Amino acid sequence: GGPAGLTAAIYLGRAGVETKVYDPAVPGGMVFMVHQIENYPGFPDGISGRELAAKMEAQAKRFGAEIVQVGVKKVYREDKEFKLDLTDHQELMARAVVIATGSNPRSLGIPGEQELLGRGVSYCATCDGNFFRNEDVAVIGGGDSAVQEALYLSQICKTVYLVHRRDQLRAKKILEQRAADRENLRFQLNSLPQEIIGKDQVEGLKIMDKDRGKEQILKVTGVFIYVGMKPETDPVKGLVELNPDGFIKALENTRTSVPGIFAVGDVRGKPTRQVASAVADGCNAALAIEEYFLEYR
């Protein structure tokens, strides 16, 4: 149900292929949680993730794709077709399957993270940022997600500490520059998160200076964690080949090791994770499926 899956559905529906999109959540995937998307072409003033997701869903429906709010537990190969076990205990047979399950936020694994989840610890600034209005918060990570969400939080919160384990960010320069320009956004570099402190609510984040080994506690009421993504491959684990990082092995034509199964978007092993590249994957999968139908008539 994210941009990759919905794009495949737009193209397949338009090509007259009977297409069903299964997603237990509201369509949109990770995009649904993004406050503002500024680098997707066609929207010079930016667009909220929710609005973009809704537009993609409407476009897929317009071409006949059916959006079903049910999950897929497992995909099995049965001769030249596939059997899908659905979370509502139904089964479905399909001639081709597009895996567009995306990836989920990685956890840090430090003390306090699980215990205080939902009580100050969050993986979604757009969803939870408002609870921390005029308060001090920390964002952990140095990639695009961490910096983008720290920028968002800096509009709501009093102070945002961007805690990163190295002395250089991984994020794009344009985001880094914007963060550097925000007065209430402070870079806390070379800092290793040690523990999230608090009894019933987050009261602080203990960090350690990587070079000097010195510990300090940032007095924050919110800790937002953006330390990368974990691919959601459960439905096809053991069926398609994965790369060593756990993403599905597939080239740009999105064909996996199993003919008839295609992988698109953030679940596919690839260097770029953007809405635009997810959309490209969806388009490639739909075209590859049309070719596949001709090959396996």
- d(C-alpha 86, C-alpha 75), whole Å: 9
- Using Cβ positions, the residue closest to ligand NAP within the complex turns out to be 143
- d(C-alpha 32, C-alpha 282), whole Å: 17
| Residue 264 CB, nearest approach to ligand NAP (Å) | 15
Structure tokens at 126: 């757009």
- Asked if residue 56 binds ligand NAP (CB under 6 A), the reply is no
Structure tokens at 51: 């609005």
> 118 to 157, contacts with ligand NAP by CB under 6 A?
140-146, 148
Interface residue with ligand NAP, options 274, 287, 290, 293 (CB under 6 A): 274
- d(C-alpha 9, C-alpha 87), whole Å: 21
Residues assigned a catalytic role: 124, 127-128
Q: For residues 166 and 219, which CB has a smaller minimum distance to ligand NAP in the complex?
A: 166
> Of 224, 188, 246, which Cα lies nearest the Cα of 113?
224
- Name the one range near ligand NAP by CB under 6 A: 52-60, 153-161, 222-230, 252-260: 222-230
- Asked if residue 230 binds ligand NAP (CB under 6 A), the reply is no
Report the sign of the C-alpha dihedral through residues 111, 145, 48, 138, in that order.
Answer: positive
- Asked if residue 176 binds ligand NAP (CB under 6 A), the reply is no
- Asked if residue 112 binds ligand NAP (CB under 6 A), the reply is no
Q: Would you tell me how many other CB atoms lie within 10 Å of the CB of residue 245?
A: 9
| Residue 172 CB, nearest approach to ligand NAP (Å) | 6
- Asked if residue 73 binds ligand NAP (CB under 6 A), the reply is no
Interface residue with ligand NAP, options 186, 255, 270, 273 (CB under 6 A): 273
User: By rule CB under 6 A, what count of residues binds ligand NAP?
Assistant: 20
Q: For residues 111 and 259, which CB has a smaller minimum distance to ligand NAP in the complex?
A: 111
| Residue 81 CB, nearest approach to ligand NAP (Å) | 34
Interface residue with ligand NAP, options 226, 247, 262, 292 (CB under 6 A): 226
Q: For residues 120 and 141, which CB has a smaller minimum distance to ligand NAP in the complex?
A: 141
Pairing mode of beta strands 222-225, 136-140 = parallel
Q: For residues 90 and 104, which CB has a smaller minimum distance to ligand NAP in the complex?
A: 104
- Name the one range near ligand NAP by CB under 6 A: 113-121, 152-160, 164-172, 208-216: 164-172
Q: For residues 191 and 254, which CB has a smaller minimum distance to ligand NAP in the complex?
A: 191
> 243 to 272, contacts with ligand NAP by CB under 6 A?
none
- d(C-alpha 53, C-alpha 133), whole Å: 26
- Where do contacts with ligand NAP occur on this chain (CB under 6 A)? 39, 108, 140-146, 148, 165-166, 170, 193, 226-229, 273-274
